[in-house]
């Protein structure tokens, strides 16, 4: 295809922004999302099957519906140009190669999700146990450029929504400030920022997450300002790798997500390749890890120091004490009690998606002993070593967490 035709595509995208804004105001400030991806996928599939008239019909409807959907504009204009020239579709040699490559990557990501979408009987293995207070859990799979929203139905997660999402230009596995990467792990939303208080590049709002959490800090990771947010107001969606490390949805999708969740009690699991298992296996796994925490509490109540301390890793560190110091301290304190009773409530357990040997558990701990009682929220990081799970960190949640 000639360079001029591709160039005109981006001129077309720019000049339709004003009409996109008028359209958005007709429904809500950021327009519609329902049905857009279905039209796009139908058009792409028809294109793959060489049913160009059907593809044109789908994409024409989509570009009229969302003039700011740049991927739809690209494919639609490409088909029209190819038909006019009688040549196969191509964007080689374009002056806008990087932009076009990003849009092509978006098309591939959306098609990949359409091919790999899990059945209703499958669940992410890393959502190990949901607490009763957590009504929703967010799981992000960067390989699929997808955000999955699960609802807690009597302790079992049920997929209720999934949205296309973009992530960091530098890829995944954030290590340091400025690497433009999206962190992988288990995080918690700490705040809600409304669009009126944000620069336009964040779109319809933002939900900051607690990167770097205590485990990130333990590993020496730096950086901050990792948010789940909307898209720049001048475009509908972005290529898969487009942000400075944040997770970005379309503006209407962000609004829909934000309206459904309790932002102060919704975990966010981010992985590059989420593993799915059958629901019956998930239930069995959930029970095993609940028993793991119950055993730890029972060992503490026994006041047998060897039983209790065997639950902790030799690499334990909580910012105040290493394993040896912690062991000495607990032996002295627990040994001075006539009795100890531990209650574990509101337990949640999540595994790091790209590190299956790391699990984070959070719960309300009710402590009673012969001379002290009280309640607090405790967070533990468990690592798998020498054939069993052991605690490598325990303490309060990261600052700003629920």
CATH code for the domain in which residue 325 is found:
3.10.450.50
Structural domain includes residue 401: no
237 and 293 in one domain?
Answer: no
Give the count of beta carbons closer than 10 Å to the beta carbon of residue 115: 7
Q: Give residue 16's pLDDT.
A: 35
Q: Give residue 129's pLDDT.
A: 96
Could you confirm whether 272 is annotated as catalytic? no
Query: Which 8-state DSSP code applies to residue 397?
Result: P
What span, in angstroms and rounded, lies between the C-alpha atoms of 228 and 373?
38
What span, in angstroms and rounded, lies between the C-alpha atoms of 137 and 268?
6
283 and 256 in one domain?
Answer: no
Structural domain includes residue 219: yes
74 and 152 in one domain?
Answer: no
Residues whose CB is less than 8 angstroms from the CB of residue 311 and which lie 6 or more positions away in sequence, other chains included: 295, 296, 299, 390, 391
Q: Give residue 278's pLDDT.
A: 96
303 and 161 in one domain?
Answer: no
247 and 341 in one domain?
Answer: no
Per-residue pLDDT of the chain (402 residues), as tens digits, is: 333 333 333 333 333 333 333 333 434 678 778 889 998 999 888 888 888 888 889 889 989 889 999 888 888 887 787 766 654 444 444 445 677 788 889 989 999 999 999 998 999 999 999 999 999 999 999 999 999 999 999 999 999 999 999 999 999 999 999 999 999 999 999 999 988 889 999 999 999 999 999 999 999 999 999 999 999 988 899 999 999 999 999 999 999 999 999 988 999 999 999 999 999 999 999 999 999 999 999 999 999 999 999 999 999 999 999 999 999 999 999 999 999 999 999 999 999 999 999 999 999 999 999 999 999 999 999 999 989 999 999 998 865 444
Q: Give residue 280's pLDDT.
A: 95
273 and 154 in one domain?
Answer: yes
Q: Give residue 344's pLDDT.
A: 97
The catalytically annotated residue of 136, 229, 272, 305 is: 229
Instruction: Count up the domains in the chain and report the number.
Output: 3
Domain containing 49 equals: 3-115
- What pTM does this model have? 0.86
Q: Give residue 28's pLDDT.
A: 60
The catalytically annotated residue of 50, 96, 136, 246 is: 246
Could you confirm whether 50 is annotated as catalytic? no
């Amino acid at each position: 295809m000639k360079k001029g035709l591709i160039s005109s595509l981006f001129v077309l995208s720019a000049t339709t922004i004003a009409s996109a804004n008028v359209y958005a105001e007709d429904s809500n400030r950021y327009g519609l999302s329902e049905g857009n991806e279905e039209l796009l996928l139908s058009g792409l599939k028809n294109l793959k099957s060489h049913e160009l008239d059907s593809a044109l019909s789908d994409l024409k409807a989509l570009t009229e519906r969302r003039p700011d959907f740049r991927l739809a504009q690209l494919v639609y204009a490409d088909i029209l140009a190819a038909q006019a020239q009688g040549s196969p579709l191509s964007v080689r040699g374009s002056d806008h190669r990087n932009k076009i490559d990003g849009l092509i990557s978006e098309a591939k990501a959306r098609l990949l999700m359409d091919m790999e979408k899990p059945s209703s009987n499958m669940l992410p293995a890393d959502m190990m146990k949901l607490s009763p207070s957590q009504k929703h859990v967010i799981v992000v799979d960067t390989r699929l450029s997808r955000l999955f929203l699960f609802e807690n139905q009597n302790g079992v997660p049920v997929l209720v929504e999934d949205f296309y999402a973009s992530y960091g230009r530098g890829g995944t596995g954030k290590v340091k400030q400025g690497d433009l990467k999206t962190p992988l792990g288990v995080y918690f939303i700490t705040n809600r920022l409304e669009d009126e208080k944000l620069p336009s590049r964040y779109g319809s709002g933002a939900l900051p997450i607690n990167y770097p959490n205590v485990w990130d800090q333990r590993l020496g990771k730096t950086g901050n300002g990792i948010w789940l947010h909307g898209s720049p107001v001048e475009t509908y969606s972005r290529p898969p790798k487009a942000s400075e490390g944040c997770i970005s949805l379309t503006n209407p999708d962000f609004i829909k997500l934000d309206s459904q969740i309790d932002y102060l009690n919704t975990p966010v699991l981010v992985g590059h390749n989420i593993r799915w298992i059958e629901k019956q296996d998930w239930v069995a796994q959930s029970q095993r890890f609940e028993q793991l925490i119950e055993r730890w509490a029972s060992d503490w109540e026994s006041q047998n120091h060897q039983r209790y301390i065997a639950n902790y890793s030799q690499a334990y560190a909580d910012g105040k004490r290493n394993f040896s110091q912690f062991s000495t301290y607990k032996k002295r304190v627990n040994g001075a009690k006539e009795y100890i009773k531990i209650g574990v409530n509101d337990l949640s357990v999540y595994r790091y998606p790209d590190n299956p040997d790391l699990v984070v558990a959070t719960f309300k701990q009710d402590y009673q002993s012969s001379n002290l009682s009280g309640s607090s929220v405790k967070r533990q990081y468990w690592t798998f070593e020498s054939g069993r799970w052991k605690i490598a960190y325990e303490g309060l949640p990261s600052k700003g967490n629920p």
